[in-house]
Amino acid sequence: MDRSQIRQPRRSSRRPTLPDPHGLYHPAYEHDSCGIGFVVNIQGQRSHDIVAKGLQVLNNLEHRGAQGCDPCTGDGAGILLQIPHEFFARVAPASGLALPQAYEYGIGMVFLPADPAGRRLCEQIAANVIAEEGQRLLGWRDVPVKDSHLGEQARASLPAIRQVFIARDILSEADFERKLYVIRKRIERAVRESAIPERETFYLASLSCRTLVYKGLLLPKQLPLFYQDLADASVVSALALVHSRFSTNTFPTWSLAHPYRYVCHNGEINTLKGNVNWMRARQGRLQSDLFGDDLQTLKQKADEIAAIMKTVNGVKDLKVEQIAGQPYLTVDIDRKKIARYGINVADVQEIVETAIGGKVATHVYEGPRRFQLLLRFPFDARNSIQAIGEIRVKSASGAPIPLSDLATIEMREGPARISREQVRRRIYIGFNVVGRDIGGVVDEGRKKLAAQLALPQGYTITWGGAFENMERANARLLVVVPITLGLVFFLLFWAFHSLRYAALIFLNLPFALIGGLVSLWVTGQYLSVPASVGFIELFGLAVGNGIVLVSYINQLRREGRSTDEAILAGCSVRLRPVIMTMMTTLLGLLPLAVAQGIGAEVQRPLATVVIGGLFSSTALTLVVLPALYRWFEEAP
């Protein structure tokens, strides 16, 4: 493929797409409120009756779907089924396909550009990705559809609908299913980043060796009329998941119909922002990282750390990183045996690599395109330990020796992942903190680990997550707060041209500090980074109140009033502005102080500090500050 064709993205004008963010609208906040249904045979017996009942459920959910000004165009409908192997084995030869046994291949339901040139480019990308992932493309099938029942909007944006068939060239069904997921994501990304016209029409509704999705921009009753396959009696399944879409603030498209491949869901969770928030909600707030060299020792000591941390008050949702459980096929070569036959280790390794993993022999050129020619044993000759053991290795005398006579072949459990940080192996222990401050939990955890845990030499523990962020923020605050206070004092001196009056107003800050600390203690909260930010905001309000009072007293003194008269008059006249400042701020922050939703852990400490500090600061400003004015007074 000419790579100039797939580099620079352009916006397609044919397929209905989501508008760009503008005003109060943003695509991230789109969500659906739809109808869902599920029919299953609990014995796992497949039948067309399950399919028919699923379609009947979908038709009964028409009231949960929606339609626009075009009464024949719905917001979308679809059905998920098990792959009916007998049906495809019968119809595939008409498309020039020879299918293997059930679960030995995967089927993808693909929406392609209606333009033939764009469709071929998308299919070529798919073929390249399938080959790069070591699987075999069997071919494509045009899905029989009947669009006479569609509305004008649905017909105008109708994509070309085809099914892609991929042979299973991997050991297990589960591994093949994971491989198909990788293939789907790679194809979608490659097409999305290409410059293919109408590339936004491309969509993989499903790609699996187990299930298949039929869906579209349809009304529920239109689905079996549009897809002719669903009327065939040999289309059998033991389950049927159906979905009738109701777009509350989204735009109907072919791809957004039936928006799931594994889990049937409904309502507000069908938003990108909602899913991101749910993922973040499951993340541990604190994380303890254990560094070392040996994976077994890391796992053993991590379990010990988790057991100790369970005894710390406030620790919840403990989780140790899973680093084991991945099955590996191992070929352990017996050097004595291969020496007896005059075979080198490299010879055995080369045979194993070529037979199982495949080896590029040459390249095939087709016009400007280049393809790798990969040599590998047929699937039946490498799909089990017994088959791999029958692979022959030529001895020095030319006799073929079974691989099982030269090596031990077995499946072993190994590490599922090996995490590294700063060139050291690592395992994490994550947990949340409930009803207690993070610093206190970490301090208690450190003391208990120091007393009860014995780590081998070279193994170390670090603390991360919210605690690491808190320490980083505290370090910044240790720099920011003194600079801020110094800047405030300088501005006060610049405003009054007096160190005395600047110091007098600056004494108002401890009054605010008292109320903030008491409010945290009363509400059972702790001094956190949001609370520290609240104190900075509170200091600004307290300084403002002090400036209002002292500047007015000074004005009265310059007008000839005595000190006592100026203080009494100033407090009386400026009482209302000071109280109004306090009340407007208090009423504005009160909803944050009682918040319980997402972000409340940040909002509540900040609001609590400011509200509590305003009470003490306002009261003491009107009482103590006038009394101290006599000591700091300068001649008018």
Structural domain range at position 455: 283-323+418-468
Long-range contacts of 434-438 (CB under 8 A, 24+ apart): 434/314, 434/316, 435/314, 436/313, 436/314, 436/526, 437/526, 437/527, 437/528, 438/285, 438/286, 438/466, 438/467, 438/470, 438/528
| Model confidence at 332: pLDDT above 50 | yes
Residue 9 has pLDDT above 80, yes or no: no
**pTM of the entire predicted model:** 0.47
Question: What pLDDT is attached to residue 634?
Answer: 59
Please say whether the beta carbons of 611 and 589 come within 8 A: yes
Residue at which a domain ends, from 398, 415, 432: 415
Q: Look at 208-217, 241-250, 530-539 and tell me which has the smallest mean pLDDT.
A: 241-250
Mean pLDDT of 216-227: 87
What pLDDT score does 182 carry? 93
The single residue listed with the structure tokens 């993922």 is 279
Q: Is it the case that residue 435 has pLDDT exceeding 80? A: no
Q: Are residues 125 and 30 in the same domain?
A: yes
Query: Does 214 have pLDDT greater than 90?
Result: yes
Q: Are 299 and 366 found together in one domain?
A: no
Residue 378: CATH number of its domain: 3.30.2090.10
Mean pLDDT of the chain: 82
Mean pLDDT of 458-482: 82
Higher pLDDT, 288 or 194: 194
- Residue 587 inside a domain? The answer is yes
Among residues 34, 122, 209, 571, the one annotated as catalytic is 34
Q: Are residues 61 and 209 in the same domain?
A: yes
**Averaged pLDDT for residues 257-269:** 56
pLDDT in tens, 335-391: 999 999 999 999 899 889 888 888 888 888 877 778 888 888 888 888 888 889 999
- 72 and 20 in a single domain? The answer is yes
Q: Count CA atoms closer than 13 A to 215's CA, side-chain side.
A: 33
Residues 127 and 258 in one domain: yes
Residues 221 and 239 reside in one and the same domain? yes
Last residue of a domain, one of 450, 468, 486: 468
Q: Does 209 participate in catalysis according to the annotation?
A: no
Q: Same domain, yes or no, for 65 and 174?
A: yes
Q: Say yes or no: 201 and 222 in one domain.
A: yes
Do 314 and 222 have their domain in common?
A: no
How confident is the model at residue 208, as a pLDDT? Answer: 93
Domain count for the chain, please give it: 4
pLDDT score of 307 more than 60: yes
User: In three state form, how does the secondary structure of 310-376 look?
Assistant: CCCCCEEEEEECCCEEEEEEEEEECHHHHHHCCCCHHHHHHHHHHHHHCEEEEEEEECCEEEEEEEC
